Amino acid sequence: MRSTTSSTSVRSGRLIGMRRRINLLAVLAAVLSTVLFLVPLGYLTAQYLLADERDELIRVADTLAVSISAELSRGDTPAELPSPDDDVVAGLYDPTGDRIAGSGPSQGGAVVRRALGGSEADVELAGDLVVAVPVTDGARVTGVVRAASDYAVVRVQIAQTWAVMAGLAALAVAITWLLARRQGRRLAAPLEDLAHTATRIGDGDFAVRTSPSGIAEIDAAGAAFNTTAQRIGDLVSRERAFSGYASHQLRTPLTGLRLGLEIALHGPPALQQDALARALSSADRLERTIAELLALARDSSPRGEVLDIGSVVDDLTEERRPAVQMAGRTLNLHLEDDLPTSHVAAAAARQILAVLLDNAIAHGRGDIGVAVRSSVGALAVDVVDEGEYRGDLSAVFSRHDYSDRGHGIGLPLARSLAEAEGGRLSLASSAPTTFTLLLPTTDDPVETAPSAVDDHVPSGNSSR
């Protein structure tokens, strides 16, 4: 028990480790793809925000340059230089680079000097983003409009954008983790069920089966596993039943062999030859019974061969006839003509009918009749004696039925053999006691049909 629990814990730990690896790999893949996507996207976003701010400064500077160009052409200096944007600081500089209106440093510096050359200029200073636009009168530069904004504002926008992107990336990774966790459970659950089923089968529970998971590959493995478990269960059941069935079936030939040897040992010389012959016959019967029981227990009896039911019942009645005669009774056999063909294993049919005959000899009364006839979709064999079954009819095939007629392990196992071959064994009548064996003539299980024993097995003498 300790080793089983330990192995179960190990398998559970491995499956949990598999789920963790699935989660880890999925999260790592999500993080890697997110990083590879976000790094260039973040860089492009920062460049876009910088370009947008620069375009805004150029728009403001162009607007101011257009509005004051006429005044500068007349030689007038604007009294003030209003900025159309509160975040932009604008100043007007003369051709010498000195500020003459607006706000900004008194000397325009390099950016203003480049603009005085007739082209727009922009530069990022320590804390400002600066754009300079020349004011022209034809080909002559009459001044420069300098527009500047705090670069910290752009950095805040970039940081906010990056924060939103990082939040979305974290959300994507979290969703990936949740989906991977769910998928990991979905993949591991049927494997856990498979491992649990294997453990229970290892403990001897061959009736357990795996459940479908909806995953084709795992369901295919589970179906193959269930088929294997079914075959192993059938084989183990047959092997387990063999000991009890063998003890029942071997008792009669062993008793006959012992009696024959005792007569040969202690009897008069005139009877020794006959006693030895009977002992040899019992030994042959014992050997054949053992071989058939082993074949049935291992499910290795021939399949697909046509059952010669006449030969089977003929051999069985001949073997039991001496015992019946010693009891002062008669054993009669009746075979119909044109019997249907059956492919039931001869060993199974022989053992079932042996149980029925031994039961009638040991526990029945009066003459014994065996009739082989055709039935609805089946080959029927009736074994009838003149006794009366007074026990519980529903318990006649119970393994623990020890009634006044003494039925024990033979009848339950005979029924199980019949059902294993696709047939049916039933108590057709309790007075007279009549057991009917229906053997299939097709691949479909036979249907239980009313027995017509009284029409086929006379209670008196009947010829073969």
Task: Look at 181 and 353; give whichever has higher pLDDT.
Answer: 353
Q: In what order do the strands lie in the sheet with 99-102?
A: 99-102, 88-93, 140-150, 128-137, 121-124
C-alpha distance from residue 41 to each of 45, 144, 214 (Å)? 6, 36, 40
For every residue of 116-164, DSSP letters joined together read HTTS-EEEE-SSEEEEEEEEEETTEEEEEEEEEEEHHHHHHHHHHHHHH
Total-model pTM:
0.45
Report whether pLDDT(373) > 90: yes
pLDDT class for 371, splitting at 50, 70, 90? Answer: very high
Q: Are 43 and 158 in contact (CB under 8 A)?
A: no
Give the tens place of pLDDT for each residue, 9-58.
Answer: 545 555 566 677 777 888 888 888 888 888 898 889 888 888 888 888 88
Which of 203, 227, 87, 204 minimizes the C-alpha distance to 147?
Answer: 87
Q: Are 34 and 172 in contact (CB under 8 A)?
A: yes
Compute the half-sphere exposure of residue 234: CA atoms within 13 Å on the CB side of its CA. 14
Give the tens place of pLDDT for each residue, 74-129.
Answer: 778 787 777 666 778 888 888 888 888 888 888 888 888 888 887 777 776 667 88
Q: What is the mean pLDDT of residues 280-291?
A: 70
Q: Which two tokens stand for residue 122?
A: 């922009």
N- to C-terminal Cα distance for the chain? 60
Per mean pLDDT, which range of 191-205, 215-229, 291-305, 433-447 is the poorest? 291-305
Report whether pLDDT(349) > 80: yes
Query: Distance between CA 93 and CA 103 in Å, rounded?
Result: 10
Q: What's the pLDDT score for residue 262?
A: 72
Q: What's the pLDDT score for residue 57?
A: 85
Give the tens place of pLDDT for each residue, 209-254.
Answer: 777 777 777 778 778 878 877 777 777 766 666 566 566 556 666 7
C-alpha distance from residue 343 to each of 51, 54, 135, 402 (Å)? 91, 96, 112, 34
